[in-house]
Chain A
């Protein structure tokens, strides 16, 4: 079973705050991903990484940024949170061009 962790699980913050959502995996996977999941359940890829120092934007435009300084760590940052950022954020990793393993998600609410 995959070991991929996300913190916090739930976060409620005020508009304008800077936040960082953490994602870590212990499997040594090169590829990591961030998805945004809307209330209608649909998943949208917002960032991905091939490996250390590699990051790309996904299909859905996002005001968030990511970094990949270590293989196991792929944090997502919002410089100034807004109510439109309220969503569920899912992190995933994969080794081959195949199965992705997901973390439990962070549910973000911006007031």
Chain B
């Protein structure tokens, strides 16, 4: 079945450092790929998504490119801020018509120090 493998955390960075959180997936067909972010005490928020190979999703300085050849969707940001401290989830979208649509990775805790 579908699965998502996400870089284990926790990750601790200094402000303005470069961020990469690795995500690889296993799926049949051509799934959509997502990154969600969860701030302390809150639910998940969509950060970015890509729906087909070579698409780049971007939002708030974060980027991820859908790489079909390596089955990856790594999250990157050039310069992190303290406010980026949160848990980041990579997710894979199932086939159209299925309500069981998102398969989540295990989450990566990011802490950014001033």
Contacts and interface: CB of A to CB of B under 8 A. Distances in A.
Contacts, number: 61
Nearest to B104: A43
Interface residues of A, number: 27
A98 B101 contact: yes
A67 to B, nearest CB: 16
Nearest to B102: A100
Contacts of A99: 34, 46, 49
Interface of A: 6, 31, 33, 40-43, 45, 48-50, 56, 58-59, 90, 92, 94, 96-105
Interface of B: 32, 34, 36, 38, 41-46, 49, 51, 87, 89, 93-102, 104, 106-107, 109
13 contacts: A31-B99, A31-B101, A41-B107, A42-B106, A42-B107, A45-B100, A45-B102, A97-B93, A98-B49, A98-B93, A99-B49, A102-B44, A104-B41
